[in-house]
Amino acid sequence: MIKAGLTGSIGMGKSTTAQMFRDEGIAVYDADATVHQLYSGEAAPLIEAAFPNTIRDGTVDRTKLSEYVIGKPENMKKLEAIIHPMVHKQEQEFLQKAETRGDKLVVLDIPLLFETGGKNRVDKIIVVTAPAEVQRQRVLAREGMTEEKFEAILARQVPDSDKREQADFVIDTSEGLNATRERVKHIIGLL
């Protein structure tokens, strides 16, 4: 089974691209969705213990949590120490199920693939990219996003150019949905 890591910096169109792989019948593990699930489940009490007053209605309030971690590397490391092992465990369960089904290709949608050393866990790397101005427009259009938050997130991510250099495949999402979809199909055919 080939494990393809799908990654890209914030605002590059990774989620849309991941859905295109699903639409083609490829199983996709979504690390971000796993984090959201954990924030409403087993991680919530641990995060509340580490970062008081971050739980609202049983779920981690991401806005409150961001006040603790954005621009604060030590707090970010503390959060990652809580959440990353849980995410990795669910990834392993996903891979075991895919192996049992006999899947020939799976996609691991991991936004921080390079930042967390995940590139060693995949066979091929697919990087989703877009020009910096397109990225900025997409990200700043998100609810609750500020220039400060955007810059803090970018500062923690491996630069897009470095990701592209290490990629086996690059998908430029600024070329439109149809071009992106065709590139996804091409990559599936190759793999």
Q: Whole-model pTM?
A: 0.88
The fold for domain 1-26+104-191 equals Rossmann fold (3.40.50)
| Residue boundaries of the structural domains of the chain | 1-26+104-191, 39-102
Please give the pLDDT value at position 148: 86
Average pLDDT over residues 57-77: 91
pLDDT in tens, 135-191: 999 999 998 898 888 988 888 889 999 999 999 999 999 999 999 999 999 999 999
pLDDT in tens, 81-138: 999 999 999 999 999 999 999 999 999 999 989 988 888 999 999 999 999 999 999 9
Cβ contacts of 39 within 8 Å, gap of 6 or more: 47, 59, 60, 62
66-73 long-range Cβ contacts below 8 angstroms, 24+ apart: 66/149, 70/148, 70/149, 70/152, 70/153, 71/148, 71/152
Q: Does residue 17 carry a pLDDT above 90?
A: yes
